[in-house]
Amino acid sequence: MSNYQVNQLRQNCFTVAFLILFSKNSQVLNTWIEETKLLNLSDINSFINGIENDIDGFIKST
């Protein structure tokens, strides 16, 4: 995968995550987390870890 493709993938992952967070759908969020972790991109995994640390807060606050 080229650097461009990886960067596009990262951008798309963050965009989808924010859309899911604002939808307040924890089931979809959990599925996205499980599938996205498989990409094994350190910055996205760090973002996911932050979400997982307070998933209830994310769902309730949006």
pLDDT score for 14: 84
Q: Residue 51: name the closest of 1, 6, 36 by CA.
A: 36
For residues 60 and 16, what is the distance between their CA atoms, to the nearest angstrom?
18
8 Å CB contact between 52 and 33: yes
pLDDT score for 13: 85
Which residue range is the domain that position 13 belongs to?
A: 3-61
How many domains does the structure of the chain reveal? 1
pLDDT tens-digit map of 4-62: 888 888 888 888 888 887 887 888 888 989 988 998 889 889 989 988 888 777 666 65
pLDDT score for 49: 92
DSSP states of 5-54: HHHHHHHHHHHHHHHHHHHT-HHHHHHHHHHHHTT--HHHHHHHHHHHHT
